Structure 1
Amino acid sequence: MQKIAPCLWFDGNAEEAAHFYTGVFGRSRIASTMRYSDAGPGPKGDVLAVTFEIEGQEFMALNGGPNFTFTPAISLFVHCSSQEEIDSYWNRLLDGGTPWQCGWLKDRFGVSWQIVPDALGDMLRDPDSAKASRTMKAMMQMVKLDIAQLEQAYRGA
């Protein structure tokens, strides 16, 4: 068990969200489901929380009610090694969601995701500021990130 795990607050659809996320990513599973007892505060037998794992990262999905909603102030960052991986995660997480600029999207549950090629960080950290600047400018024009276009901008082609 890891020391720190994100707890995501949902309004009655925590179990649906956990199943959705474990269906998107490999090496994922539902670890456990907690249900309300006679003590409440929800109806006995309804799902209180679901613990699930995605690629070895533990999460908890909590049915906390309508008091809070997700904001882009916290997002889940997905490292991608290929365009195929970007396309797959992007398309699956976007189902029922909303695309944003620079590789960001909001899924159908309101959770924000960044679907990013690992190579982008290397390009943006390049000591050659012209290369990094061209890459940043290209990225700012994209919604879903395109590795070939980013590499083209990086090379100045």
Structure 2
Amino acid sequence: MDIDSKKDKSVFQFSNPSTKEAVFVINPRYKGQLLKVESQQFMIKTKVEEPKYLDESETDTRTSNIFVTVTNNETETLDDETPFLLRVTMGAKFKWSKSDIPLEKEGSFLSINGASLLMSYIRPFVTTLTEQAEIQTQYIPFINFVNKNH
């Protein structure tokens, strides 16, 4: 199958995703061996801003900002059992036509597709960050955003 990046462009587009926050701290009080730290459980939160028209004169193009945060520690405390603190937030402005994505479907489209697209940028960021530290490299699995409240 041949796909043309201009002709087959999706109706759902976004600005260049940007890192809004990146925190990574090795815990000096951790009692275990850092090189033997197993894969951490990551919590994922999404924030979808209320969709709006591109500008006041626009009646078809809609936009919304989406933010996804991944962390291994929601309390941000480093006790003896927590090997490190990692928190990454990325965001992007999404744009679409209401003639292609009806108003009643845009919420689920944003929270599922938008969050999935941003996770594809966060995942390698976390891997690269952790592989350059003195801990076992952390990999975030593919996430099912369907029917989830993150």
TM bracket (short chain):
under 0.3
Instruction: Calculate the TM-score normalised by the size of structure 2.
Output: 0.25
Instruction: Calculate the TM-score normalised by the size of structure 1.
Output: 0.24
Task: Name the one with the larger helix percent.
Answer: 1
